[in-house]
Structure 1
Amino acid sequence: MERPKSIPEYFISKRNIYVQIAFTTVFAYAFINIYEPFGAAHWYAITKWQFLLYSGLLVLLGMVVVIVSRVIMYQINKVRSVSILQYSWMVAAEIIIMAAFFALIEDYALDDSRTYAELWFIAIQNTALILLIPYVISLLFFAFQEKKIKLENLMFDYLRKPAIDFIPFRDENGVMRLSLKKSDLLYLEASENYVLVHYRVRSDIKQYLLRNSLKKLENEMKPHHILRCHRSYMVNIEQVKMMQKGKKGLELHLNGPENLVIQVSKTYEPVIIAELDLLPSASQSL
């Protein structure tokens, strides 16, 4: 059975979630005051300024639903990738729940003569417009930004690529923060919302703290033979001097001024063994 396709990471990166919520809030506020959905023009005999205030409170209530939804989605994505279908269901749930709140306000607070079911159905249509339009616009913008960053990075790599193999390290927004000779890189280590880049400077080992995740770096590092070997580690395969079975499983011993040992988890053992089989310089003691 084919695995459900995951949504792009930039759809629910922390920065883009903030941007999307802010843009949706502004759009919803303008939409309600210009279009006046939910029969807003017939609520009560209030001034335009009062309507601006009440509609603002209504938008803030709706955004609470969106924020809760996005927090849940963000936390799920930290554990496992969110599929396109799951993302669609979360957006549909936002519309349905938000519409239920709006219909409840109309039915009880505003004493509307229509049935709650009728009010809810109309509210779903209006809420879908309020949310889906800014969602589509913001996602198209994020996709454009992502393609732009990738194109700029490709151009940078093409124009700057020297005879020596350098590895660029970019943060979660695609901005390059560090470039290392491949022969100096030892391994990468996950550290909460950051990645520790361990590299060699003469006889010392240095670390660079990069705001990113191993999950995002995994595909970027594969062409350089920097492979995931553990939930918390990626290793420069060319720096492995020995591979052996330890008490906790497979271990990788790296070149360095001190004895560096990286644990390999069961999940990644086949990939690491297959890769090291292609590198005769790596001694194996299994």
Structure 2
Amino acid sequence: MMEMPKYLLSKKFLTLSVVIIFLFSIPFLLIYKPFSATIWLGFHPLRNFLFTCIFYALAIFAMSLSKVVMYHYQMKRELSAGRFILWALSEYLLIALIYLSLTPSATGDVLHIHPQLVLKSSLCVGLILAIPYGYLCLVAANRALKEEYEALKASFNSNGKAGKILFLDYKGDPSIALDPTDIYYIESQDNYVQIYYESDGKLHKYMLRCPTQKLEGMLKGTQLVRCHRSYIVNLSHLWEFRRGHNCATIVLDNAEKKEISVSKSYYKQTRERLLELNPSQDKMVKHT
């Protein structure tokens, strides 16, 4: 089965899809309404405006709930392109049903619902959902392809180097092979991780669907250490270790001097690993 672009199912893109659909629908309806004798959505009269607000509130709630369920579903099971399309169709039918159910009250005519209205309202809702979804799919696919290209180039550049790390996805399939020294840090995002690595003098990132605990097993014997529930850092790129009263921060040696917090639960093992790898790095500890 064909999988959806990985970015499309991230929390950021799912949230963005609701926002974009909402923002797109407003100018779309303003343009569409003069050409339709059946649509009642609008800013005037007051009755139509109130029911328009009710419709938007219910539609946004339905879409938001759908995205939350989709997000948790895809964390446990694979969401193929076919399932995603069926999911989007379910959203479409639900929103069309909300519109039709409000129509008698909004128009004041119980008999206002007829085949022509059902057809036109279904077409209107379908376009409002399909156009933003199509745009987001293209953006997510383009981003994923660009990321895969950079990862392939980085893997090719590191060919011949000993001790490369082969990253496997949640299925156990190879995704990217990198020289450990090229990796700066890894950020965990639920069942996805973002690998930040250097290639051609620039910092790139690669999204991998893999639990953090499984990822830690791939990193044994390297200078990549988990310092936070959400972060794994490469101690070979340590610029400074800031130690405060109740906190600690690792500063990396990249151009942006990326700062990453060290949580209390991981402080001891991070500190021990730091001294184990290079005792002289203790001089880099800065008390704040």
User: How would you bin the TM-score normalised by the shorter chain?
Assistant: 0.5 to 0.7
Bigger mean CA deviation after superposition, 23-32 or 148-157: 148-157
Confirm or deny that 1:199 pairs with 2:220.
yes
Q: Map 1:242-261 onto structure 2 (within 5 A).
A: none
CA RMSD across the alignment: 3.9
Give, in angstroms, the shift of residue 88 of structure 1.
1.5
Aligned residue in 2 for 1:177: 196
Aligned residue in 1 for 2:59: 62
Q: Map 1:95-244 onto structure 2 (within 5 A).
A: 95-112=92-109, 113-115=111-113, 118-159=116-157, 163-167=161-165, 168=178, 171=187, 175-177=194-196, 190=211, 195-196=215-216, 198-200=219-221, 206-207=225-226
Residues 75-94 of structure 1, C-alpha deviations (whole Å, 9 max, x = no match):
22122112222211111111
Runs of 5+ unmatched residues, structure 2: 166-177, 199-209, 232-288
Q: Counterpart amino acid of 2:220?
A: Y
Give, in angstroms, the shift of residue 206 of structure 1.
4.4
Change in Cα spacing, 1:59 to 1:34, as seen in structure 2 (3 Å) is farther
Runs of 5+ unmatched residues, structure 1: 180-188, 213-286
Aligned residue in 2 for 1:39: 38
Aligned residue in 1 for 2:252: none
Change in Cα spacing, 1:208 to 1:153, as seen in structure 2 (3 Å) is farther
**Which residue of the other structure, out of 69, 72, 76, is the alignment partner of 2:69?**
72
Q: Normalising to structure 2: TM-score of the pair?
A: 0.55
CA contact 1:20–1:138 (8 Å) conserved in 2: yes
Aligned residue in 2 for 1:251: none
Change in Cα spacing, 1:164 to 1:208, as seen in structure 2 (3 Å) is farther
CA contact 1:99–1:127 (8 Å) conserved in 2: yes
- Residues of 2 paired with 1:117 and 1:93: CA distance? 20
- Residues of 1 paired with 2:124 and 2:10: CA distance? 27
Give, in angstroms, the shift of residue 95 of structure 1.
0.9
Aligned to 2:112, the other structure's residue is in SS state coil
Aligned residue in 2 for 1:269: none
- Identity level (%): 17
Q: Counterpart amino acid of 2:38?
A: G
Alignment size in residue pairs: 196
CA contact 2:38–2:117 (8 Å) conserved in 1: no
Q: Normalising to structure 1: TM-score of the pair?
A: 0.55
Residues 58-82 of structure 1, C-alpha deviations (whole Å, 9 max, x = no match):
3342222212222222222122112
CA contact 1:106–1:119 (8 Å) conserved in 2: no
- Residues of 2 paired with 1:152 and 1:210: CA distance? 27
CA contact 1:107–1:119 (8 Å) conserved in 2: no
- Residues of 2 paired with 1:56 and 1:46: CA distance? 13
- Residues of 2 paired with 1:174 and 1:145: CA distance? 16
CA contact 1:43–1:110 (8 Å) conserved in 2: no
Change in Cα spacing, 1:28 to 1:45, as seen in structure 2 (3 Å) is closer
